[in-house]
Structure 1
Amino acid sequence: MSSESVSSSSTPELTNVLSKSKSPYLLQHKDNPVAWQEFNSTTISLSKKLDKPIFLSSGYSACHWCHVLAHESFEDQEIAEVMNKYFINIKVDREERPDVDRVYMTYLQATSGGGGWPMSIFMTPNLEPFFAGTYFPKTRFKSLLLRIAELWEEDREQCQATGKGAVESLKEMSGSSSRVPGTLDEILSSSPATKIYTQLLQLHDTRYGGFSSGGSRSKGPKFPSCSMTLEPLARLSFYNFGGGGGKIDKEESREMALKMLRGIWNGGIHDWIGGGIARYSVDEKWIVPHFEKMLYDQAQLITGALDFALISNPSEGEDDGHRTALQDDRKLCFDLAADILEYCLRDLKSPEGGFWSAEDADSAPEKDAKKSEGAFYIWDKTELDEILGENAKLIETFYGVKEDGNVDLQHDAHGEMTGKNILHQAKTYAEISIQFNQTEEEVKEIVKSGSAKLKERRDKRERPGLDDKILTSWNGLMLSALSQAASTLPKNYPIQAHCLSAAEDVVKFIKDRMWDQSEETLARSWREGKGPGGQTDDYAFLIRGLLDLYEASGKEEYVLWAIELQKRQDELFWDGQGGGYFASAPDEHVLVRMKDAQDAAEPSASSVSLHNLSRLSLLASNEYDKYEKRAEDTYLSIGEELKQMPRAFGYSICGLMDLEKGYREIIIIGQPSNPKTQELLSLARSVYAPNQVLIQIDPSNPPNGFAEMNDVIKSLIEPIIAGKEDKNHISLRICENGSCGLPVKDVEQAREVLGLA
């Protein structure tokens, strides 16, 4: 079979239909000569009618290698002719249809040992996969297309048998079978905290920070992972496991996390000019990023940085050296969180209140030029010299600029950054101060002023493409980040004043545009209207964000909607046979209904749900038994995995650590306008306590529906409503194991009971 015979043959009368799509990723391919179709019943029926195999290509709009494959192959007329002649070609936005992507990514990983995007799947008209890969260079891709077409024509039975076998294997792997018998105590007795600590120690790069299979011999890539690293390390840094002689070193845990955060802050993965963090670093030093910026990374790093700012708060009795080090770490964490928040609120927040999904890696370095990776972010030294003037040498030394560029050739796959510089902190302010005979404050001001000039010039370049769809799940993560920032970021950071209102804007956007009240369902996405139906992570991440916003604002409307959403999530996605949550609702065209239990770049829907259920069991105490049982059944559904692969289930392990230490409620009664009430709230929020639920009661406006669901709150507000309690009453109390301590009215006493004294 040759390309000549293909090009001389007639092709089916199919056209590219992606111009009708709302997905930014699909729209990127609307002008391809490939007759792309969307994943829907019409396309599936067409494949069966024409008896053609399907080529499914899944990716996302900010994916650099997706662009490379598109430019090399999907924009090529000869390749398109082969694709159109022999295949029904389907494009999938993996962010809008993670249910489709998840099935075939699992197949790809099982058959090749790896995965990633672009994902390339060949399947039967019945959607059964029989060959999978990722990116293929043009020549190899063409040969593969012809070979698959030949195989389909000459040995179709083998393709079909392979596909059927693959689907059966996927069903076995899907986690939908009955759980292995066991108890929660058995899982806890397997020492999950010790196991994940040991594994992180082995994977930790002690030279440059971060985690990879090579440990200190790592050559990259490195990801700013949170659910798999920062979240468990925060608990390991805070909780006491095993007593004074235990195997877990709290300070070592904190240092592993801080070393990664320092590496991210100092590196080129951090956009020193415009703020925000790139998706990952291709090298071990965090210098050369994959330049796309994803909303989910920004949100999780804000939360992670703020957690470690609280953990790094010096306690009384610290020696001066350690106190100074902790204060430096605390400031770095606050700086990082504020930097990312400023970027997100400036560049990713839609005028309507929701947050857009991502910025691309690629853009044109100049007008009408071909797009290349990182063009918006990288610099030629001569351009820097011109912009920075007399301060050029100092600033360029700080940022590690070199005459012939500072990008190692081995990290520049296409030679797009030759002679260019990625700005990163190559030297400390103290080192620059000595080298250039300036005070550190003068150096900081010069770098700050010069960076502002660079931003002004950079803003005139072509910006990378914006994925302006709004995803419920990722906005849920951002809602948590904004809520935590509103509560814990110091007020001397100007961005702090905007965080609470921005969080409330997110909720309003989702409720007004993405929530169908009559059907009680969420939409997965919004862009010029609602996208596909919501998935488990949309509900789970939004519930967590609402609970965080309740604790930041004290407004019961947020916890009430969280309770309503949890009920709906249980109805739509709960696996009554095996426990845990299915990742998506039933769909006849998604052959395997899978579960989302392992953490990755985002926490899994399952792990977030576990935390939500534990918090809700305290907030809606009349439903305690139901929430507790559902959480326990979810843990048991992944019990063996928690024992054997702790890091892959890092955020679920965090939930086990919280359970082992025990949850508590901090209840503060007082009018929000009273400074003493605010002082008590600030004290409660200054403690890193993931096993803590903060409940606020305004005696002049006590909760209504919320109180009916919480026995403890009901007992506290009944005397207020009956007029037996002073409405100016202000107090803090701690409730644990179903009983509450005496109310504390003195601020110093509050410090003591909170463990701050």
Structure 2
Amino acid sequence: MSSSQDSSKHSNRLVNAKSPYLLQHANNPVDWYEWSQEAFDKAKHENKPIFLSVGYSACHWCHVLAHESFEDELTAKIMNEHYVNIKVDREERPDVDRLYMTFLQATNGGGGWPMSVWLTPDLHPFFAGTYFPKGTFRQVLMKLAEVWERDPNRCVESGKQVIEVLREASNTASDSDIMVQPLAADVFKRLHGRFDPVHGGFGGAPKFPSPAQTLHFLARYAAYHLGAPNASAHDKKDAESARDIAVFTLTKIYNGGIRDVVGGGFSRYSVDEHWHVPHFEKMLYDQAQLLSSALDLYQLLPVSSRDKKTLELMAKDIISYVFKDLTSPEGGFYSAEDADSLPSIDSTVKKEGAFYVWTAKQLDELLGIDAELFKYHFGVEEQGNCDPRHDIQGELKGKNVLFTAHTPQETAEKFGKPVDEVQKTLEANLATLRAYRDKHRPRPHLDDKILTCWNGLMISGLSRAYEVLAADSEVASKALKLAEGSAAFVRSHLFDEKTGELRRSYREGQGPTGQADDYAFFTQGLLDLYEASAKEEYLAWAIDLQKKQDKLFYDSEGGGYFASAPDPHILIRMKDAQDGAEPSAVSITLSNLQRLAHFAEDKHAEYNEKAESIIASNGQLLKQAPYALASMVSAALMADRGYMQFIYTASDASEGALLKLIRSTFIPNRVLIHLDPTCPPRKLAELNSSVRSLVDELEKKGPAAEAKENVRICENFTCGLPIEDPEELKKKLPLVSSA
């Protein structure tokens, strides 16, 4: 059979895949399989090792490896002759990715994608790496094939030993003697020590926003001390520092090239230390987390701070981008846009960042007399502004990544114009570039896979936006509509009403079974959406999903939660508590349990028991490396402060002064319960004795009772008297209000 016939045969197996990443490889000459029993059986039957390739559709270096090696006939021939080749989308199968990434990191000291792992037919790993250049990749393939043919037992025994070591490492002993305040202080000290005071961020290049590991924690650490009336001067100073380094980082990100100045949204990371040259893929989870962090820090800043406006613009930029480019017609949010694209409609070769970068000449032609002002403001250079050291493949030579090089005031002074005129000119220029780009440049590939977990993160950010940006009614209402549209999509396409189970992904049909992060992130999204919308259906659904997550993922023997669903082909069911590009599922679960203990307080003992088991089962790691579990430390810190339960009563909350005041304050340990006398929360009343007594009281007054707007604040399951005066409520709130 000829190689062309081989290619035709092999292309058909991935043609039926749902994953955009797998479909990108459907025409490779490599004889790819999906992660499946068929592949495992073939490896055992032919006694061949497995080559496992894991990546995602928007990954630039995944594309490079594919072009150099997987599309090469000679390399494919080596792979097909000596291996059973399996292609996995890490976003669809995080359980597969998690296990073998742990092996890669343990053996190489680091990891990333594309991930290349060699397995025995029994799925035990014996060698791994990330991107291999074309020649090196062939050499590795041949060398490992020789090792397998000469002494397969050596590989088998090595693989078994590795799995046993990983299994032992995953079964850490319980430790319930945890003091959260010292751990939080350690995390802050480490972040403060790694903070880049010139460019923002933490550590050197490459720089990732990593909100879960940094910004989310810093906002809560700041609120913990700023909101404490008896905090020491030292603690308040640290709190202000935590807030300020987080704000500084976000403003640098917003003003850097990591933001798509023309079309909105943020790239995954910057290859340099000053957020200028990004890897251009845009991920939904980054938009969601940056949105939440921008809103948190916006509320923490005093009204007089000039950075508040930047954070507000950042939040609105993300909402606009997600609405325009990542929202499906049915309401779900797509996963990502690619790093690579065609430079023009006539081009045939994709280049990284082609959709986003500009030559000085192009800007001169498009903007005319405004070009000099625009180029000055956005740091454009005649020969391009991308450092060759950060352009390994030379694709950005002569090109400019736009970034805010000068403030509007500086630009106005430079050109002798009023600031308002400069801002209007820049807005018009950006509109011109946006129109040109949309018409003449093919958009990057869209990963239109809809993930439950990332939709949950986005729902949380949008729900917060509805509350925090209420002064801009158009943006706020759009945010709530988007959040509710996503929840409706998940309910109709990714949720089984009969079993109560979630699916992980949707694209032309449902994908694999839901993992722990799907349940955790989406439950969090529903809790946030309930607090924003006052619709009890979201809270009831969140309660049911937590019950299902407990059934599927809770470890009744060792405590805590597994990260992956049961699967006989996943050799170790891991409990991964460390944060990465996203917060760990178990940390978000801890926060959810703590909140649910106050929403459904009749079940608080059950929720608290599981929450405590999370801390205990991760106790050793928390003591050894709390900075790796920053999201868990954040959640534990909120429990240490104690939750404030606000029971808000009003027949029409739309203009409620008390509700606006509560929402104007950053209270990360808040639980907001809505009680409409004309439509009492029945489900909640069944599970919360405080709400039940209030509902009973209202019903005694009769169905026509119109209660004056009031709020009761409950702490430690003890409620105060109703408050009707905003000035009285102000005295009860933490001292971090932006009002």
Q: Please report the TM-score for the alignment, with normalisation by the length of structure 1.
A: 0.94
Question: How do 1:423-502 and structure 2 match up within 5 A?
Answer: 423-460=402-439, 461-492=441-472, 494-502=474-482
Residue 279 (structure 2) pairs with residue 290 (structure 1): yes
Q: Which amino acid in the other structure matches residue 270 of structure 1?
A: R
Q: Which amino acid in the other structure matches residue 86 of structure 2?
A: I
Q: Secondary structure, in 3 states, of the residue corresponding to 1:17?
A: helix
Residue 507 (structure 2) pairs with residue 516 (structure 1): no
CA distance in 2, matches of 1:664, 1:717: 20
Residue 129 (structure 2) pairs with residue 150 (structure 1): no
Give the counterpart of 2:677 among 692, 699, 723: 699
Residue 214 (structure 2) pairs with residue 229 (structure 1): yes
In the alignment, which residue of structure 1 is the partner of 2:727?
748
Question: How do 1:35-54 and structure 2 match up within 5 A?
Answer: 35-54=31-50
Q: Which amino acid in the other structure matches residue 25 of structure 1?
A: Y
Q: Secondary structure, in 3 states, of the residue corresponding to 2:48?
A: coil
Are the counterparts in 2 of residues 574 and 580 from structure 1 also a CA contact under 8 Å? yes
Q: Secondary structure, in 3 states, of the residue corresponding to 1:522?
A: coil
Residue 646 (structure 2) pairs with residue 650 (structure 1): no
How far does residue 248 in structure 1 lie from its aligned partner after superposition?
A: 5.7
- Do the aligned partners of residues 699 and 247 (structure 1) sit closer, same or farther apart at CA in structure 2, a change above 3 Å counting? closer
CA distance in 1, matches of 2:340, 2:175: 50
- Do the aligned partners of residues 76 and 493 (structure 1) sit closer, same or farther apart at CA in structure 2, a change above 3 Å counting? farther
Give the counterpart of 1:417 among 388, 392, 396: 396
CA distance in 2, matches of 1:415, 1:490: 45
- Do the aligned partners of residues 674 and 722 (structure 1) sit closer, same or farther apart at CA in structure 2, a change above 3 Å counting? farther
Q: Which moved more, 1:720-729 or 1:519-528?
A: 720-729
Are the counterparts in 1 of residues 194 and 202 from structure 2 also a CA contact under 8 Å? yes
Are the counterparts in 2 of residues 18 and 38 from structure 1 also a CA contact under 8 Å? yes
Are the counterparts in 1 of residues 295 and 468 from structure 2 also a CA contact under 8 Å? yes
Residue 86 (structure 2) pairs with residue 90 (structure 1): yes
Give the counterpart of 2:176 among 165, 174, 182: 182
In the alignment, which residue of structure 2 is the partner of 1:610?
590
CA distance in 2, matches of 1:313, 1:513: 43
CA distance in 2, matches of 1:158, 1:140: 23
C-alpha distance after superposition, 1:207-249 (max 9, x if no partner) = 100012xxxxx3x111111111111110222222762234861
How far does residue 45 in structure 1 lie from its aligned partner after superposition?
A: 0.7
- Do the aligned partners of residues 15 and 31 (structure 1) sit closer, same or farther apart at CA in structure 2, a change above 3 Å counting? closer
In the alignment, which residue of structure 2 is the partner of 1:69?
65
Q: Which amino acid in the other structure matches residue 681 of structure 2?
A: P
Q: Which segments of 5 or more consecutive residues in structure 1 lack a partner in the other structure?
A: 1-5, 213-217, 315-322
Q: Secondary structure, in 3 states, of the residue corresponding to 1:478?
A: helix
How far does residue 255 in structure 1 lie from its aligned partner after superposition?
A: 1.1
- Do the aligned partners of residues 39 and 537 (structure 1) sit closer, same or farther apart at CA in structure 2, a change above 3 Å counting? same
Give the counterpart of 1:261 among 237, 250, 272: 250
Question: How do 1:259-338 and structure 2 match up within 5 A?
Answer: 259-314=248-303, 323=304, 326=305, 328-338=306-316
Give the counterpart of 2:690 among 698, 709, 712: 712
Q: Which moved more, 1:89-98 or 1:697-706?
A: 697-706
CA distance in 1, matches of 2:254, 2:10: 50
C-alpha distance after superposition, 1:75-128 (max 9, x if no partner) = 000100000000000000000000011110000000000000000001110001
Are the counterparts in 1 of residues 7 and 27 from structure 2 also a CA contact under 8 Å? no
Are the counterparts in 2 of residues 623 and 709 from structure 1 also a CA contact under 8 Å? yes
Q: Which amino acid in the other structure matches residue 198 of structure 2?
A: R
C-alpha distance after superposition, 1:591-621 (max 9, x if no partner) = 1111121111100000000000000000001
CA distance in 1, matches of 2:7, 2:373: 62
Q: Secondary structure, in 3 states, of the residue corresponding to 2:126?
A: strand
Q: Secondary structure, in 3 states, of the residue corresponding to 2:214?
A: helix
How far does residue 15 in structure 1 lie from its aligned partner after superposition?
A: 6.2
Are the counterparts in 1 of residues 120 and 155 from structure 2 also a CA contact under 8 Å? yes
Task: State, as a whole percentage, how many aligned pairs show the same letter.
Answer: 49
Q: Which amino acid in the other structure matches residue 697 of structure 1?
A: L
- Do the aligned partners of residues 103 and 448 (structure 1) sit closer, same or farther apart at CA in structure 2, a change above 3 Å counting? same
In the alignment, which residue of structure 2 is the partner of 1:206?
197
CA distance in 2, matches of 1:250, 1:53: 53
CA distance in 2, matches of 1:400, 1:79: 43
Q: Please report the TM-score for the alignment, with normalisation by the length of structure 2.
A: 0.96
In the alignment, which residue of structure 2 is the partner of 1:249?
238
CA distance in 2, matches of 1:13, 1:424: 47
In the alignment, which residue of structure 2 is the partner of 1:738?
717
- Do the aligned partners of residues 239 and 50 (structure 1) sit closer, same or farther apart at CA in structure 2, a change above 3 Å counting? same
CA distance in 1, matches of 2:476, 2:683: 30
CA distance in 2, matches of 1:414, 1:339: 30
CA distance in 1, matches of 2:293, 2:438: 29
How far does residue 576 in structure 1 lie from its aligned partner after superposition?
A: 1.3
In the alignment, which residue of structure 1 is the partner of 2:617?
637
- Do the aligned partners of residues 467 and 674 (structure 1) sit closer, same or farther apart at CA in structure 2, a change above 3 Å counting? closer
In the alignment, which residue of structure 2 is the partner of 1:320?
none
- Do the aligned partners of residues 754 and 13 (structure 1) sit closer, same or farther apart at CA in structure 2, a change above 3 Å counting? closer
Q: Secondary structure, in 3 states, of the residue corresponding to 2:212?
A: helix
Q: Which amino acid in the other structure matches residue 358 of structure 1?
A: A
Give the counterpart of 2:511 among 508, 531, 534: 531
CA distance in 1, matches of 2:716, 2:302: 28
Q: Which amino acid in the other structure matches residue 197 of structure 1?
A: F
C-alpha distance after superposition, 1:385-414 (max 9, x if no partner) = 011111100011001101100000000010
Q: Which amino acid in the other structure matches residue 176 of structure 2?
A: G
How far does residue 297 in structure 1 lie from its aligned partner after superposition?
A: 0.1
Q: Secondary structure, in 3 states, of the residue corresponding to 1:734?
A: strand
Q: Which segments of 5 or more consecutive residues in structure 2 lack a partner in the other structure?
A: none
Q: Secondary structure, in 3 states, of the residue corresponding to 1:239?
A: helix
Q: Which moved more, 1:27-36 or 1:633-642?
A: 633-642
CA distance in 1, matches of 2:389, 2:12: 37
In the alignment, which residue of structure 2 is the partner of 1:318?
none
CA distance in 1, matches of 2:541, 2:24: 36
Are the counterparts in 2 of residues 12 and 84 from structure 1 also a CA contact under 8 Å? no
Are the counterparts in 2 of residues 483 and 548 from structure 1 also a CA contact under 8 Å? yes
How far does residue 181 in structure 1 lie from its aligned partner after superposition?
A: 3.9
Residue 345 (structure 2) pairs with residue 351 (structure 1): no
- Do the aligned partners of residues 15 and 437 (structure 1) sit closer, same or farther apart at CA in structure 2, a change above 3 Å counting? closer
CA distance in 1, matches of 2:707, 2:69: 71
Q: Which amino acid in the other structure matches residue 569 of structure 2?
A: H
CA distance in 1, matches of 2:120, 2:622: 35
Are the counterparts in 1 of residues 222 and 243 from structure 2 also a CA contact under 8 Å? yes
Q: Which moved more, 1:734-743 or 1:108-117?
A: 734-743
CA distance in 1, matches of 2:465, 2:235: 33
